[in-house]
Amino acid sequence: MKRIMLFASGSGSNVENIAQYFEGDDRVEIRGVLCNNPGAGVVDRCKRLRLPLYCFNRPAYVEGEGILALLEGLNPDLIVLAGFLWKIPESIIAAFPDKIINIHPALLPKFGGKGMYGMHVHQAVINAGETESGITIHKVNEAYDQGSILLQKKISIEAGDTPEALAKKIHALEYAHYPPAIASLLFE
């Protein structure tokens, strides 16, 4: 049995997509979802999906010992960031080397780093006049969006695309490619 822990900050659409992908697969167990925002949509999704949810505040996260102890106790084979906006503490990265992955809504190394998430990324891509964008699935290290790239998928940006239109295209890529990439890492 392979064990996954998810981290999320927002609506939880990727959490739900991942949960649905592995539903009925007795080789994979989602041990829980860690969330830094008790008002986020992912909280209701976890209730509906019957996923264990662990909410925490910034002091608990920065100090890190409690969250690290929780993770060590749940012993995940892979930690998956699914719309999680805070930088992962070095203590967690050190405890789970090469076992933490993230999905970024752009083609790294462009449009990565602190503050580059959600609509901020899509607006920056359009403002830069890019003709394509996409997703990057990468390992997490000590620097924002600088871990080794595992997979990139591209889409074309059409004349007149808005950040909202681009977001819709990017979400489709995320939903199609993140769960299979997770499965590939679990069973490589």
Q: Is 138 labeled as catalytic in the residue annotation? A: no
Q: What are phi and psi of 147, to 5 degrees?
A: -70, 165
Q: Per the structure block, which two tokens stand in for 148?
A: 């080794």
- DSSP characters over 81-131: ESS--SPPPHHHHHHSTT-EEEEESS-TTTT-STT--HHHHHHHHHHTT-S
Catalytic residue among 104, 120, 138, 171: 104
Enumerate the β-bridge partners of residue 34.
Answer: 7, 54
Q: Per the structure block, which two tokens stand in for 119?
A: 């609509």
Enzyme catalytic residues: 104
